[in-house]
Copies of this chain bind each other. A is one copy, B any other.
Amino acid sequence: MIPRPDLTAIQKAAERIRPYIHRTPVCTSETLNGFCGGEVFLKCENFQKVGAFKARGATNAVFSLSDEEAAKGVLTHSSGNHAGALAWAAKTRGIKAEIVMPENAPTVKLNAVKGYGANVYLSKPTQAHREALAAEVAQKTGAKMVHPYNDHLVMAGQGTAALELLDQVADLDLVLAPVGGGGLMAGTALAVKGISEKIEVVGVEPLGSNFAWQSLQKGEIVPQKNPNTVADGLLTAPGNLTFPVLQEYVSHIVTVSDEEIISAMRIVWERMKIIIEPSSAVPVAGLLTKKVDLKGKRAGVIISGGNVDLASLPWN
C-alpha cells in the first residue's frame, strides 16, 4: 500500500502533474485585507483545470498507475468535482474512466463527465447503492478505484496547491483550507508542516456539516449524518486515512454558518471579481468573521474551486 505522503511525496506529485495542470495565481485585495484585519493571499484553484483543485489529486492518481493498471481504466463514485476531475485526468492520459453518479446529480455535471468521454453509471441516491454499483463496475472492468479523498495519492496531489502557494508567497503565518472529507486539508497540512513547523494550519468547516470538527472533539471519526449546508463540496466526514493527519497537523477547526459562507462568497465576487464556489468561501468566512484572528498576520487560503450554477445563486 502507498504510505502517507510526506513532503517528498508531495514534491514528486508536483513534478508528475506539472505538465497537465495550471500553476494557479495568488490573488489579493486591499479591501479584503481591510475587512479581515491582516493580509490574505488566495490560492486560486477556481482557475485550475476543471475549475477545482480536484484536478491535482486525480491527475496524480492517474499518472501514478503502471501501464498495465492504466489499461484497465479508473473508477470512482462521486457527484461532485472529483468525478469531472477523474474523467478529465483519464482522458488526458488516454485511458478509460468509469464514473458512478447518483441519478439526481445535476445535468450539467453529468454532461461535463460525459463530455470527457467517461462511462457514466447512474445509481440510486444512497451511499449503499452507489458503493454496490461501483463494486460491480470494478469487478466487471478491473478499473482502479480512485477515492475522492481517502487515498494517499489523491492527498499528495491536493497538497501540491499549498506547495505552490508557499513558493509564491513568503512569510505566511497561517494557511487555511475548507474541510470536507479531508483530502485537501490533509494534503495542505502535510505540505505546509513539511516545509515549516512554524506555519499554523487551520481548517474551516460549515456548521451544518461539521463532521471533522465533531471527530476531532470526540477523538474518533463521527460519520456523516444529514449534512445541511450551501457548501455542497463539503458534505462528507473524514476518512480513516485523512483523519489521523487532521489530528496530528491541523491546529484547530472553526465552523461558519451558511449565512456567513454566502456573505463571504458575495464579498469575494463583488470586490475581487472572481467566481468562487460556496465551499471556497468557507475559509474566507472564517477570516471575515474574525473567528480566525488575523491581526498583523499573513494568511494563505486555498480557494478550492469555482464551479457554480449561475442560474441559481445562493443570494437570490
Using CB atoms and an 8 Å cutoff, list the residues of chain A in contact with chain B. Answer: 25, 46-47, 51, 266, 269-270, 272-276, 306, 310-311, 313, 315-316
A-B contact pairs, 11 of them (CB 8 A): A266-B310, A269-B275, A273-B274, A273-B276, A273-B306, A274-B274, A274-B275, A310-B313, A310-B315, A313-B313, A316-B316
Within the assembled complex, what's the spacing in Å between the Cα atoms of A306 and B313? 17
A273–B46 touching, CB < 8 Å: yes
How far does the alpha carbon of A102 sit from the alpha carbon of B134 in the complex, in Å? 61
User: Which among B46, B273, B275, B306 is the interface contact of A51 at CB below 8 angstroms?
Assistant: B273
**Which residues of chain B come closer than 8 Å to A306, judged between CB atoms?**
273
Which residue of chain B is the closest to A29 with respect to CB atoms? Answer: B47
B25, B270, B272, B310: the one contacting A269 at CB < 8 Å is B310
**A274 contacts which chain B residues (CB < 8 A)?**
273-275
Which residue of chain B has its CB nearest to the CB of A309?
A: B270
Which of A46, A270, A273 has the most C-beta atoms of chain B within 10 angstroms of its own C-beta? A273
| Beta-carbon contact of B273 and A47 below 8 Å | yes
Q: With A and B bound together, what is the CA distance between A294 and B132 in angstroms?
A: 50
The docked-state distance in angstroms from the alpha carbon of A311 to that of B316 is 6
Give the residues in chain B near A266, CB-CB below 8 Å: 310
Docked complex Cα distance between A275 and B269 (Å): 7
B313 near A270 (CB under 8 angstroms)? no
What are the 5 closest A-B residue pairs judged by CB atoms, nearest first? A273-B306, A273-B275, A46-B273, A47-B273, A274-B274
Kindly report which residue of chain B lies nearest to residue A25, judged by CB atoms.
B25
Residues in B neighbouring A25, C-beta threshold 8 A: 25
Complex Cα distance, B25 from A316, in Å, reads 30
List chain B residues, Cβ under 8 A from A270. Answer: 310
CA distance A71 to B266 in the complex (A): 38
Q: Provide the bound-state CA to CA distance between A266 and B309, in Å.
A: 11
What distance in Å separates the Cβ of A11 from its nearest Cβ neighbour in chain B? Answer: 27
With A and B bound together, what is the CA distance between A315 and B47 in angstroms?
23
Query: Which residues of the partner chain B approach A46 to less than 8 Å between Cβ atoms?
Result: 273
Q: Hey, which chain B residues are within 8 Å of A313, CB to CB?
A: 310, 313
Q: In the complex, A311→B313 CA distance in Å?
A: 9
Which residue of chain B is the closest to A265 with respect to CB atoms?
A: B310
- In Å, the complex CA distance between A47 and B269 comes to 11
* Given A273-B274, A311-B315, 8 new contacts (CB under 8 A): A46-B273, A266-B310, A269-B275, A269-B310, A270-B310, A273-B275, A310-B315, A311-B316
Give Cα distance in the complex from A81 to B315, angstroms.
Answer: 24
* CB nearest to A48 among chain B residues: B273
CA distance A25 to B46 in the complex (A): 16
Nearest-Cβ distance from residue A55 to partner chain B, whole angstroms: 13
Q: Nearest CB to that of A306 among chain B residues?
A: B273
